[in-house]
Amino acid sequence: MSWPAFLAAILALPLLGAGAAFHPSVRSESLPARIAAALALGVVGLTLTGLVWTWASVRWSLAVLAAPPLAVSVLLGFFWARRPAPPRRPGHTSRGIALSATAIAALALVLLFWTLVTGGATSVDYLFFWGVKAARFAAVRGIDTELLRWKYFGHAVPDYPPSVPILQAWGALAAGRLPWRFVPVCSLLWIAAAAPLVRALLRRRMGDDAATAVACFWVAATTITLAQSYSGGNAEAQLLFFETLAVAALLVEDAAAGVSRFLPALMLAGAVLTKVEGAAAATAIVAGTVLRDALERRRGILRHALPLVLAPAAALLVWFAFQRHAGLAVGYRSHGPPLAVSVRFLPTVLGEGLRNLDAGTLWLSWAVPIAFLLAARTDLRRLLPALALIAGLCGFLVFDYMHDAVDPSQRIGWTVPRVSQSALAACILAAGLAWFGREPRAREVSAATASPPAQ
């Protein structure tokens, strides 16, 4: 029985990044929320370590893989723990809301668990390449560059970033082999881990009850769409974790200059190392954030954007440098020449695209946040980090599908339910903020300074 050891290895990932839990921007949050931040740093650290050790021809073992991220994390943790952090805000969630939200989120997670454990949401790609790479990486105790270069391994998209196979290989090293039937169940953990941090971040801009309710809706919508899109065992849940938390952190940040962007930068780096779409999403999120900051006339926009650009860019460069070192094709393959677009496919792309956005709920998962978004009649500028992700992802997909040489209907049916999930998550967060959100703190301060309160 190999799954308990695999599960233990996956559950140990936050230990590898425990230092993140002590970063001043996270330290005041609840323990589960801090564990989510630690998980993100652990995953990024483990992925980079896997790449570096393979580059240096060091054979992987649990200790060899764990030591560098653990050491760096501990050092960072000691450094961060000495820096001041904002005081912890006491919770005010109503008992009824807390109980209802916990029950609904637990129900959603149990339904996803049941679907995954009974093999009802396993991704075929997990058996075709995600898990395949993991099993081979674990067998050779490193990234199997010879396999990635092999002419007859082209189906396994060797250019895809390596985080998911490295994580699964890490579990396989602990378990002795890849527990094929169990690995998809672990997709659930990404949602369960992200939920407390989503709620914690939302609390910075809305009441506790509202943050709890929006986070609960996010859990319900994402668990259902993960199951419906057969995302067990592939990269989707991990990508959803990173992109959701990046968007949430940027949506709720204070307008004051100097606010830390450690958390969103870390999440964007994680997204870029998880999937090709992570790079497109990171570009859209950063563009939306810079545009929002410019439109809101925030100070130090470019300097403040640097961490958001540098962290994912550095992660991507490490992967591309590894590709070059390993003799792989450097960069990502497109589905055709960039300008060879078939406009005749546009009606098909739009029609099939919309049809496949039902998210397992007859479009209700989309309809609810869109309705709140429209009804809120809010200033859309402050939602730009999320809206840019939605627009960027949809634009990227339409552009990509229009490159197909044949009718893309089948490919749209296979991929849209999966790759649209981050946009759905962003839509939920944007709608929650539009419906419940307060203005950024700096604005409150300046408004209060400009006009004294009425006596």
- By CB under 8 A, what part of segment 220-249 binds other proteins? 220-221, 224, 227, 230, 233
CB of 87 vs other proteins, minimal distance in Å: 14
Told to check if 264 binds other proteins by CB under 8 A, we report no
CB 227 within 8 A of CB 120: yes
Told to check if 80 binds other proteins by CB under 8 A, we report no
Residue closer to other proteins (CB basis): 153 or 320: 153
Q: Which residues pair with 122 in a beta bridge?
A: 232
Q: In the numeric block, which tokens belong to residue 244? A: 């959701």
Residue closer to other proteins (CB basis): 135 or 250: 135
Told to check if 124 binds other proteins by CB under 8 A, we report yes
CB of 110 vs other proteins, minimal distance in Å: 10
Indicate the residue type of 414.
W
CB of 135 vs other proteins, minimal distance in Å: 4
CB 112 within 8 A of CB 121: yes
CB 165 within 8 A of CB 240: no
Told to check if 100 binds other proteins by CB under 8 A, we report yes
Told to check if 1 binds other proteins by CB under 8 A, we report no
Euclidean distance between CA atoms 208 and 100, whole angstroms: 14
Contacts to other proteins from residues 178-217, by CB under 8 A: 178, 180-181, 183-184, 206-210, 212-214, 216-217
Handedness of CA 438, 443, 444, 445 (dihedral sign): positive
- Per CB under 8 A, the segment of 57-65, 80-88, 417-425, 430-438 that binds other proteins is 430-438
Residue closer to other proteins (CB basis): 13 or 210: 210
Q: Which residues pair with 232 in a beta bridge?
A: 122
In this chain, which of 278, 308, 435, 440 binds other proteins, going by CB under 8 A?
Answer: 435
DSSP conformation letters of 280-318: HHHHHHHHHHHHHHHHTT-SSHHHHHHHHHHHHHHHHHH
| HSE toward the beta carbon, residue 309, CA cutoff 13 A | 10
Contacts to other proteins from residues 14-73, by CB under 8 A: none
Told to check if 111 binds other proteins by CB under 8 A, we report yes
Contacts to other proteins from residues 348-367, by CB under 8 A: 360-362, 364-365
- Per CB under 8 A, the segment of 15-23, 36-44, 103-111, 387-395 that binds other proteins is 103-111
CA dihedral 18, 87, 196, 106 (to 10 degrees): 120
Distance of CA 438 to the CA centre of its chain: 25
Told to check if 120 binds other proteins by CB under 8 A, we report yes
CB of 370 vs other proteins, minimal distance in Å: 12
In this chain, which of 128, 314, 413, 439 binds other proteins, going by CB under 8 A?
Answer: 128
Q: For residue 89, give the nearest of 46, 16, 33, 17 by alpha carbon.
A: 33
